[in-house]
Amino acid sequence: MNVKSVLLLISLLWLTTASTATPSMAKQNCQERCGDVTIPYPFGIGKDCYLNEWFAVNCNDSFNPPTPYLSHPELNLKLTFVSLAYQLVTVISPMAVYCQDHDRNRSTWKGIDLSKTPFFYSEGNALRVVGCANSVLITRQGTILAGCSSICDNSSSVLSNGCYGINCCKTTVPSNLDFYILNTTWSTNMGTELNCTYAAFGRNFILRGKSSGSGMEYEASSEGEMIWMIKESVEGSDCHKNTVPDGALGNHSYYSCSCPAYQEGNPYLPNGCQVVEVCANCKGRCLTRIDGRFFCDERSLASKFWILGISLGGGLLFLLLGGFWLYKVLRRRRKIKLREQFFQQQLLQHQMSSNEISIENTKIFTFNELKKASDNFNENRILGRGGQGTVYKVPHLDQPNRRQMMAASMNKLDLPMV
């Protein structure tokens, strides 16, 4: 392969990359990923890369892969996912753990207080107890929102039985929260393969078991879901205000933002939305696929031309037909008028040239009157045909009761005369 071919291939690859590149989710000159997690603004890694200290993220690269943490001292939570569309984060949240070496069988666990933060616990979380215990979830005001009880059964595996009341129980919490308390009572005789009982408030409960020389060892973690809020709208984005009325949470107002139509990017980054390239150059309709990507539908443009062509063709045909009909009507009217004029002229000339009729006794009748008198020029009324036309026998038009008949002729131009 020669140098020119190599340069051409590099150019094509560069153009392909440039045309498919999507806008950055992070602030300019800021790190966008930490390990497997995308960190979009208002969150950020490093100074001046986040909205405020609550959204600061520390990327701990001592792990493999690197692990992000919400680094505010009141949070310090491992971050596993950030969603701009649903305004939520998932974090590995702390949970209550009670093992056999406890000298008590009852305890109170307090979750992180989010009342002064831009976060709150979403309704997607649930109360879970793994082991032999019962637990209730209580609000700041002391209201019991949920509770569940788990029965021990050593013959069943904790990992394979699901969470339906035997060695594990689960219940939903019908409210958003900014604080919670777990009151848990557990059995002193665990009676299961677990040495500990776990009580957690979160979206997912993860229990991993591994074999060791002394039997099975378990590692537990709870993944919780939190909604994040911003208090102001964002320049260049479509934002609307939400209010979350909740007795357990209080009234929270915050903004939700999205990119305008045919734009993509980060709607929470000022002027972070830009027109999609495929839509900017689209002559048809710009549509969205199921996976969220945009595409240009050129068929809609062809359909518009077809509709326009059919409309123009139909309109032109209508004008032509209408014009032809109007021409026929006007021509017919003109012909009738000319026939009446010629009839009157011929009638007058015939009477003035007759020796039997004086000018004083001459009377002109209309074409329609003669047509009616001759019974629509009935052949039974024909007296004869001459050089000047056909002669019909008709009654006196000005004296209908008179028995004497009169003659009327229709000349060769189809113009009647008496």
Tokens 């900017």 sit at which residue?
280
Tokens 């979206």 sit at which residue?
203
Name 88's bridge partners. 83, 227
Q: Which helix (H) or strand (E) holds 33?
A: strand 33-34
Distance (Å, rounded) from C-alpha 117 to C-alpha 104?
A: 34
Q: Which two tokens stand for residue 112?
A: 């992180």
What one-character-per-residue DSSP string does 321-347 give?
Answer: HHHHHHHHHHHHHHHHHHHHHHHHHHH
Alpha-carbon separation of residue 246 from 32, 174, 267, 285, 406 (angstroms): 35, 10, 27, 42, 108
In the chain the domains, ranked by start, together with CATH numbers, are 89-228 (2.60.120), 338-417 (3.30.200)
Within a 10 A sphere around the Cβ of 294, how many other Cβ atoms? 17
Distance (Å, rounded) from C-alpha 24 to C-alpha 403?
A: 111
Name 77's bridge partners. 70
Question: pLDDT tens, position by position, for the chain (418 residues)?
Answer: 454 454 444 444 443 333 345 678 999 999 999 999 999 999 999 999 999 999 999 999 999 999 999 999 999 999 999 999 999 999 998 888 887 665 667 888 899 999 899 999 998 899 999 888 889 999 888 889 899 998 887 766 666 667 888 888 999 987 788 899 999 988 766 555 667 788 899 998 887 766 666 656 667 889 999 999 999 999 999 999 988 765 555 567 899 999 998 888 999 999 999 988 888 778 778 887 777 677 788 765 555 555 666 777 777 888 888 888 888 888 888 877 777 777 666 665 665 565 544 445 555 666 777 777 777 777 777 777 766 667 777 776 666 665 556 666 665 444 444 4
Distance (Å, rounded) from C-alpha 297 to C-alpha 306?
A: 15
